[in-house]
Amino acid sequence: GAGVSQSPRYKVAKRGQDVALRCDPISGHVSLFWYQQALGQGPEFLTYFQNEAQLDKSGLPSDRFFAERPEGSVSTLKIQRTQQEDSAVYLCASSFSGMHGDTQYFGPGTRLTVL
């Protein structure tokens, strides 16, 4: 069956541009997570959705970062006025219920490079 898919796989942006990263979770998965993975680091939590509700956005590094999941399936992470420090791999994960201990399935990530 299809796993979590993300697009684009690679994105190069000039500093100051806006970017939008898409995540297609596994069909039927209630919970969706975004993580940021800088080079040589482990993933860092950004935000979490249960269906269309954004229940936790405490990991978003600034108000330039915005995420949405309007219909409870596909999610978009938007970064406005990109900065060089935003360069990283952005990982999306989904889980069936989001309950504690539920397995999170990760997509391949979008590698963002800001010049």
Partner 1 sequence: TQLLEQSPQFLSIQEGENLTVYCNSSSVFSSLQWYRQEPGEGPVLLVTVVTGGEVKKLKRLTFQFGDARKDSSLHITAAQPGDTGLYLCAGARGNNRLAFGKGNQVVVIP
**What's the CA gap between 27 and 2, in Å, rounded?**
8
Our CB check for partner 1 shows the closer of 17 and 53 to be: 53
1 binds partner 1 (CB under 8 A): no
Strand partners, 75: 23
Q: How far is CA 102 from CA 32, 68, 105, in A?
A: 12, 22, 10
State how far Cα 88 lies from the chain centre: 11
33 binds partner 1 (CB under 8 A): yes
Our CB check for partner 1 shows the closer of 54 and 80 to be: 54
43 binds partner 1 (CB under 8 A): yes
25 binds partner 1 (CB under 8 A): no
Contact 5, 107 (CB under 8 A): yes
For residue 38 the two structure tokens come to: 């800088």
The minimum distance between CB 81 and partner 1, in angstroms, equals 26
Residues that bind partner 1 (CB under 8 A): 4, 31, 33, 35, 40-45, 48, 55-56, 59, 91, 93, 95, 98-109
